[in-house]
Amino acid sequence: MTMTFRRAAPLGALLLGLTAPITAPVLAQSTAQKSATAQADPEMRLRRIEAEIRAMQRKVFPDGAGKTFVPEITPGQSTMTPTGTPASSAVTDILARMDAVEAQMTRLTAQVEEGQNRSSKIEERLTKLEAAAAPAPEEPAAPLAPAATETLAPAPVAVPPKPATPATAKPAATKPATPAVAKPASPSAARVAAVQAIEKPATGDAALDEYNYGFRLWEAKFYPEAQQQLQIYVDRYPRHNMISFGRNLLGRAWLDDGKPGTAAQFFLQNYLADKKGARAPDSLLYLGLAMVKLKDTEKACGAFAELASTYPDEISGRLKGQYDAARGSVKCK
């Protein structure tokens, strides 16, 4: 019997045949990983930009709900992706979302800059209004009448002048003349009686009684006495619910007494102390009128502009007639 032996295959060919089925999956897996990494980088960038957008919205709109923008890119209905669809479509969608987010950031930045510009203009107007507090020189206020519980001091007795010095008398040394300060005249008995005839309310609410008494004095045109009474109310009851009325009426008492410079200080103080006060818009209106009387057109126009900007409902409603008349009394640029 003759035996035939086949020659063994070379070792290299055998190894090549074993590794060939393994190499192909490994290469495919490496290619898939590279593709996934290329898609992950834009996704991470998009998430970072969206996080920055949310942080900016919380800063610009701290009140929360209703203040953020609706995203322009919304998720659509999911569809079955056919086999063999190129991977570049996902990257294209991410890039489109990034473009939309960056455009939204640009709009938010523009709104922030616009808000800052508006705030700076408001501060500039307030600065001009505060400058209006400097009063112009005025005549000394008339003496205040004594309260109802006080009595008038007796009038001083006139002293007759001394006889003239003889011509042979030694002349006195000359000194610089000192301007004489005129003493305010005492209120007449008739005025004191008229003031005492105005009854002070006694309702049990001390703060309200003080204010109402000052109002009655102002209404009766006893302006110096009203100034004194309303100042007492403002100093003693700064947190009373009528304090906005009291400060405004105190300014009115000075303005009606012919002292617009002093009145302007009280009007400005009332506006700045509580811009939501019941008489804050009135104080801005009368501040402008006080500036008109002082012939300061720029500050008067500034007060009227602030009134129109801050209280548009008031000038078109309760204060419309007064505002139109006051605004027509001065020419603003």
The verdict on residue 318 lying in a domain is yes
The verdict on residue 115 lying in a domain is yes
| pLDDT at site 69 | 52
Residues 95 and 195 in one domain: no
| pLDDT at site 91 | 64
Mean pLDDT over each residue of the chain, to the nearest integer: 73
The verdict on residue 181 lying in a domain is no
- In terms of pTM, does the model score above 0.85? no
Share of the chain above pLDDT 70, in %: 61
Instruction: Give 5's DSSP letter.
Output: -
Question: Regarding predicted confidence, which is higher, 121 or 329?
Answer: 329
> How confident is residue 214, by pLDDT bands cut at 50, 70 and 90?
very high
Residues 199 and 304 in one domain: yes
Distance, in Å, from the CA atom of 248 to the CA atom of 242, rounded to the nearest integer, reads 10
> Which whole number is the average pLDDT over 53-82?
59
Q: What is the CATH number of the domain that holds 318?
A: 1.25.40.10
Question: Regarding predicted confidence, which is higher, 219 or 12?
Answer: 219
Residue 243 confidence (pLDDT) above 80: yes
Return the minimum-mean-pLDDT range out of 58-67, 204-213, 231-240.
58-67
The verdict on residue 114 lying in a domain is yes
| pLDDT at site 171 | 40
> How confident is residue 312, by pLDDT bands cut at 50, 70 and 90?
very high
> Which whole number is the average pLDDT over 108-124?
77
Residue 175 confidence (pLDDT) above 50: no
Residue 189 confidence (pLDDT) above 70: yes
Residue 173 confidence (pLDDT) above 80: no
> How confident is residue 233, by pLDDT bands cut at 50, 70 and 90?
very high
The verdict on residue 269 lying in a domain is yes
Closest to 228 in 3D by CA, of 136, 133, 143: 143
Distance, in Å, from the CA atom of 327 to the CA atom of 300, rounded to the nearest integer, reads 9
Alpha helices in 239-319 (DSSP H): 243-256, 260-273, 280-293, 297-310, 312-315
| pLDDT at site 40 | 56
Q: How many other CB atoms are found less than 10 A from the CB of residue 246?
A: 26
**Exposed, middle or buried: residue 253 (CB in 10 Å: 0-12, 13-18, 19+)?**
buried
Residue 229 confidence (pLDDT) above 60: yes
Query: The tokens of 220 are what?
Result: 């009766």
Which of 103, 119, 135 lies at the terminal end of a domain, its last residue?
A: 119
The verdict on residue 211 lying in a domain is yes
The verdict on residue 298 lying in a domain is yes
Residues 323 and 206 in one domain: yes
| pLDDT at site 230 | 96
Give the chain's domain count: 2
Which pLDDT tens digit goes with each residue over 293-311? Answer: 999 999 999 999 999 999 9
The verdict on residue 133 lying in a domain is no
In order of 80, 90, 97, 123, the CA distances from 77 in angstroms are: 10, 15, 16, 51
Residues 207 and 304 in one domain: yes
Highest mean pLDDT, choosing among 8-12, 75-79, 144-148: 75-79
Residues 105 and 217 in one domain: no
Q: Which domain holds residue 307?
A: 191-328
> Which whole number is the average pLDDT over 21-48?
59
